Amino acid sequence: MMMKTLKASVAGLALCAAPAFAEDVEVLHWWTSGGEAAALNVLKQDLEGQGIGWMDMPVAGGGGEQAMTVLRARVTAGDAPTAVQMLGFDILDWGNQGALANLNAVAAQEGWDAVVPAALQEFAKVDGKWVSAPVNVHSTNWVWANKSVLDANGIAVPTTWEEFTAAVETLSAAGVTPIAHGGQAWQEATVFDAVAMSAGGPDFYKSAFIDLDAEALGSDTMKEAFDRMAFIRANVDDNFSGRDWNLATAMVINGEAGFQMMGDWAKGEFLNAGKVPGQDFLCFRFPGTVEQVTFNADQFAMFDQGGTVSDQQAALASSILSPSFQSAFNVVKGSVPARTDVSDADFDDCGKQGMKDLAAAASSGNLFGSMAHGHANPAAVKNAMYDVITAHFNGEYDSATAVEELVSAVEIAQ
């Protein structure tokens, strides 16, 4: 009953406020692939229905690093956008600088505290103030597979590292590229997230990437994780360097490769290509991480533009957290809703599984912020880890040296 009243009040507010909106919202983001653009269009249309225009400021680059560079230049010039797509510690960094608007009034009116998981609120609040609106929860430890390729080679969904290596070797022997990969630092870190969780389990992952424990970082388990990355490197095609993630996804879609290790935003590319989960492609947790979920959450941070939240910013935040938008957007995007009271009725099999996995991981203590996507440690540490992981992947270090370099890099970055 309260939710119905809330929806009605929000709708009434939007209708009353619409004539007063004299400006567009300018939104800086990095959602530029086909599936991402289709998902973003859901938000644009929602705002257009309220009489609010959308000024698009896309900055290509799947991990968001380029977007953050552009943002720093804009803020330095005194020309901050209305809202910016952000992840994890980047939100906290800007919030602690006092650069973000206080969304508490909108949050209180619409009851965000009761429906947004605590793990997400840790990255959406600064000093008790809501400074961003969570759009979704992505989980990063997924594998995507072309079903026809696996079926043609007699491969079942692997659940252990040993089964995965056997499947990879079968594809390689058949002349199929086993693993589609884009050679960019954030992509290698995304794979490493899952590989490290698989090699060492949740306690190891937390110790190494969240607690930054030097013993865990320098352990034999970490060497095993790098050894497994070397196996993956040996089973990607020769042209992987610099490839965008969605082009790697297209290799799986087109049957040019068997597997891709990538977050659930990859599903949007399959859907955008007209593919059906379970029929054309398969989605499953990285072998050895069935019970764990590593996550990141896209959020839109609202930049302070004069000490008060503008009508446009309030409307954007309200739209983002509305149950109808959370469902419609995430169905297209491949992620799951950022609020816990959204029905899974409109989601496909992968989406339903994602929502089920997230709920189970949250309740069992197996939900962990993704190192690769800025939800495990601050940007300086994350970037230091990136440098070592990608250097190892590109053959600059062997596994033992990579472990030593990782320990040193984290120590310096802290």
Strand, coil or helix: 160: coil
Q: How confident is the model at residue 247 (pLDDT cuts 50, 70, 90)?
A: very high
Q: What is the pTM of this model?
A: 0.84
The pLDDT assigned to 33 comes to 86
The pLDDT assigned to 306 comes to 79
Q: Which of the residue ranges 121-130, 328-337, 383-392 would you say has the lowest mean pLDDT?
A: 328-337
pLDDT at residue 159 tops 90: yes
How much is the average pLDDT of 28-37? 88
The pLDDT assigned to 117 comes to 86
Residue 142: its H or E element: strand 142-146
Phi-psi region of 337 (alpha: psi -120 to 50; beta: other; left: phi over 0): beta
Q: Which comes out higher in pLDDT, residue 141 or 333?
A: 141
The pLDDT assigned to 13 comes to 37
The pLDDT assigned to 385 comes to 98
Query: CA dist 132 to 49, 60, 109, 237, Å?
Result: 22, 22, 15, 39
The pLDDT assigned to 307 comes to 78
Question: What does the mean pLDDT of the chain come to?
Answer: 91
Going along the chain from its start, the domains and CATH numbers come out as 2-138+297-353 (3.40.190.10), 139-294+363-413 (3.40.190.10)
How much is the average pLDDT of 264-291? 95
Rounded to the nearest 5 percent, the helix, strand and coil shares of the chain are 50, 15, 35
The pLDDT assigned to 2 comes to 38
- Write the pLDDT tens digit of every residue in 191-208: 999 999 999 999 999 999
What proportion of the chain, given as a percentage, has pLDDT over 70?
94
- Dihedral angle sign, alpha carbons of residues 378, 384, 387, 392: negative
Q: Which of the residue ranges 42-56, 168-182, 186-200 would you say has the lowest mean pLDDT?
A: 42-56
Query: CA dist 59 to 32, 63, 84, 126, 175, Å?
Result: 8, 11, 11, 26, 37
pLDDT at residue 14 tops 80: no
The pLDDT assigned to 23 comes to 73
The pLDDT assigned to 235 comes to 98
pLDDT at residue 258 tops 60: yes
pLDDT at residue 3 tops 60: no
The pLDDT assigned to 119 comes to 85
